[in-house]
Amino acid sequence: MDATVSAELQQETTELLQRLIRCNTVNPPGNERVLQEGLAADLRAAGFEVDLLAAVPERPNLVARLRGRADGPVLCLLSHVDTVLATASDWTHDPWSGDLADGCVWGRGALDMKSQTAAEVAAALSLARAGWRPAQGDLLVVVVVDEEVGGELGAMWICEHHPAKVRCDYLLNEGGGTHFTYDGARHYGVCIAEKGVFRFRVTTDGVAGHASIPKIGVNALLKMAPLLARMAERQPQFDRTDETIALLEGLGVASDGDLATALEQLRTRDAGLAMLVEPLLGVTLAPTRISASAKINVIPASAELRVDCRVPPGLGEEHALKRIREVLGEDGYRLEFTERVIGNGSPVRSPLMDAIEGWIAANDPGARIVPTMLPGFTDSRTFRSAFPECVAYGFFPHRHMNLHETMPLIHAADERIDVRDLGYGASFFRDVCKELLGA
């Protein structure tokens, strides 16, 4: 066990995670109420002011506040407790067993993200039960529902309808913290930003005809072939942003020149890491769905392709369209955006970043912090939008399972977490509360 991790805190976090996993909160339908009521009872008994706030009765969001002795910043420990589906027959251990085996807790949500809920809540409980109160400011523990399908009943609803309950200055959420080894040193990513979503529909047009005579019509589906080939062959050129510069500099890669050259430098050092970094450097295009004729014997008069397009933080529709045209060209198709969400981010430098760096320096000497971004999204986007001054980072430090071990398990069979990482993460949340709010 790490010297900085108490056996009691690790055990409590482990047992709490097992309890959370045993509540089946697959979304849909979610049904998080029983789980949330259990957490509410624990936090209330420890001295927190607790609210269960729901857009839908069976799906309440939990907001617990531990008030400080004086005015100061509000630190929010955020998590969600809904999960994606699991097929039990694919698993070594039942996905809702919370089994403890091989030094790990197994089950759906063990990584995404009931483990962070358990670590945050266990840390908050240990502080409150010991009589700690913030010297200045408040500690918030916010556990939301519905994140896996967008957050409409969770973070989005609570920030819109109860903003005073969840307004915060600093926020810790999912999205970073699992270590990876690079250039001989352990690195911990702190997620400072998330890419935007600009999904679109591409339509090609033709002339219908009987499929028994292929050239009697104009096959719209065949017109998709060159468009698909172009996306297979290349992605748009990279975009130089504050986030991409911070990421590359954090990895010790020269970022003052062409980003493609910087990526190639990274690829020569660590091809696997470069594969994960590449989509963070610019707009990405991933064709995912295609449809054409409704009948097997009819040449399609139109064909439709859906493309998942992710765009660096702060860049909008005009930029997305520019990058799409680089790849697809200007002619031969019609394009319509079906989703438009501009990416979001927080400053690289802040007292919260200082606290993270200080904790890692003390608890894993020689390790480094790297500002990263997510190609996807979390509930951090909602809090950044609702409270523009809020500094929101994704960070839950894992020292024992690395990034390459955990990533394939998220939303997959045999999801699990090393119990030592539960203790390690809970210790971080305990200590960062005291660092930012006063011992």
Both tokens of residue 347? Answer: 């400053």
The percent of residues above 90 in pLDDT, for the chain, comes to 96
Distances (CA, A) of 432 to 17, 105, 123, 254, 423: 21, 25, 10, 32, 14
| Domain architecture of the chain: domains with CATH | 7-182+344-437 (3.40.630.10), 196-337 (3.30.70.360)
* 417 touches 8 (CB < 8 A): no
pLDDT above 70 for 1: no
Structure confidence by residue, pLDDT tens digits, 178-237:
999 999 999 999 999 999 999 999 999 999 999 999 999 999 999 999 999 999 999 999
User: How big is the chain, counted in residues?
Assistant: 439
Percentage of the chain lying above the pLDDT 70 cut: 99
Integer angstrom CA distances of residue 80 from 23, 145, 151, 193, 298: 13, 6, 9, 18, 47
For 327: left if phi > 0, alpha if psi spans -120 to 50, otherwise beta; the answer is alpha
Confidence category of residue 3, pLDDT binned at 50, 70, 90: very low
Residues contacting 296, CB < 8 A, separation 6+: 211
Q: Which of 10, 124, 2, 99 is nearest to 422 (CA)?
A: 10
Looking at residue 347, its amino acid is P
What is the pLDDT averaged over residues 395-424?
97
What gap in Å lies between CA 240 and CA 281, rounded to an integer? Answer: 7
Residue 367, CB half-sphere, CA atoms under 13 Å: how many? 25
- Alpha carbon separation from 284 to 199, 338, 389 (Å, rounded): 10, 16, 29
Residue 88 predicted with pLDDT over 70? yes
* Burial group, residue 294, by CB count within 10 angstroms (0-12, 13-18, 19+): exposed
Mean residue pLDDT of the chain comes to 96
φ and ψ of 182, to 5 deg: -150, 135
Q: In this predicted structure, what is the pLDDT of residue 4?
A: 62
Are 125 and 43 within 8 A, CB to CB? yes
Give the tens place of pLDDT for each residue, 114-131.
999 999 999 999 999 999
Tokens 């996807």 -> residue: 376
Compute the CA torsion angle 397, 403, 408, 409 (nearest 10 deg).
-20
Radius of gyration of the chain (CA): 24
Structure tokens belonging to residue 411 = 């939303």
Report whether pLDDT(401) > 50: yes
Residue position matching structure tokens 């007292």: 351
Q: How far apart are CA 64 and CA 124, in angstroms?
A: 10
With bands split at pLDDT 50, 70 and 90, how would you rate the model's confidence at 271?
A: very high
Residue 439 pLDDT level (bands cut at 50, 70, 90)? confident
CB hemisphere CA count around 229 (13 angstroms): 5
Mean pLDDT confidence for 323-342: 97
Distances (CA, A) of 83 to 22, 28, 273, 419: 12, 9, 27, 20
